[in-house]
Amino acid sequence: MPLIYQHNINRNTKLGVWRIDEPESFFLKRVPLKSDVTHPHKRLQHLAGRYLLPALYDDFPLEEIVVADTRKPFLENEKYHFSISHSSDFAAAIVSSTKRVGVDIEMVGPRVMNIRHKFLHAGEYISARTGQGDVTAPAYVGQDRQHEDAYSDEELLTLLWSAKESIYKWYGSGKINFQDHIRLTGPVLGNKNDFLEMPFVFLKSDPVSLNVGGKFFEQTVLAWVTS
């Protein structure tokens, strides 16, 4: 069973990552297929993400999942709040019995360099670096670029993108401008090889302060939020 990572965030909230090694038939033994996903790999990701939910809470009612107009899956009775994400051969899920949650998983790669202007405000880049200088300069988070824990540009930008995606899923109602409505307010804290914490503020309506967790593994970024 390739549940490669599990983190009990608190007594009511659990997070997990699944490496997808199994065929579709493995997941269909437990997961009802109520999706119009036709691409084989995307369907496999969809099934693996839902399979994770009862792996975290064994009484999770998969058959009661409905999908909102914004494409956010949820339970009408709110027995659990949950969020699912997929990237390449990984699926991630977070489940809470008490709080709204969001999760995102992303592969580190060059694509994020081309879309940075669409989701990142210049001030956030400086905040993340906890240093001064041109925002187009190489990125690091409070560390010397020669240090083994230093962040590459792709790693830092993917981390910030993933954090904002997790907040977008936490909100769940769509119509979000990542630059204007989701802002990093301070430095990324923690060691690259351990847990990370990122302070954000959500500005769609009344400001909401959010602390986003993060973790790197296998050239992959995982970010989550609960509030």
**Whole-angstrom Cα distance, residue 73 to residue 7?**
22
**pLDDT at residue 211 in the model:** 97
**Whole-angstrom Cα distance, residue 185 to residue 182?**
10
Of 117-126, 140-149, 187-196, the poorest mean pLDDT is in 140-149
pTM higher than the cut 0.85: yes
Sign, Cα dihedral of 81, 98, 194, 57: negative
**Residue bearing tokens 């109520």:** 34
| pLDDT tens digit sequence for 192-203 | 888 999 999 999
**pLDDT at residue 56 in the model:** 97
Q: Which helix (H) or strand (E) holds 115?
A: helix 111-119
**Whole-angstrom Cα distance, residue 97 to residue 80?**
5
- pLDDT band, very low/low/confident/very high, at 127 (cuts 50, 70, 90): confident
Sign, Cα dihedral of 25, 27, 32, 38: negative
**pLDDT at residue 12 in the model:** 97
**Under 8 Å between Cβ of 156 and 196:** no
Q: Are strands 73-75 and 182-184 parallel, antiparallel or unpaired?
A: unpaired
More confident residue, 145 or 151: 151
Mean model confidence pLDDT for the chain: 88
- In 3D space, the residue among 94, 118, 91 whose CA is nearest the CA of residue 107 turns out to be 91
pLDDT higher than 90, residue 215 = yes
Of 59-63, 83-87, 100-104, 152-156, the poorest mean pLDDT is in 152-156
**Domains, the chain, ordered by start:** 3-99 (3.90.470.20), 109-161+175-209 (no CATH)
pLDDT higher than 60, residue 146 = no
Of 10-14, 19-23, 118-122, 176-180, the poorest mean pLDDT is in 118-122
DSSP string, 12-67: TEEEEEEE--S-HHHHHTTS-------SHHHHHHHHHHHHHHHHHSTT--GGGEEE
More confident residue, 125 or 193: 193
**pLDDT at residue 19 in the model:** 96
Distances (CA, A) of 184 to 20, 82, 100, 191: 32, 23, 20, 18
- In 3D space, the residue among 167, 3, 28, 26 whose CA is nearest the CA of residue 90 turns out to be 3
**pLDDT at residue 140 in the model:** 35
21 phi/psi in degrees, rounded to 5:
-110, -15
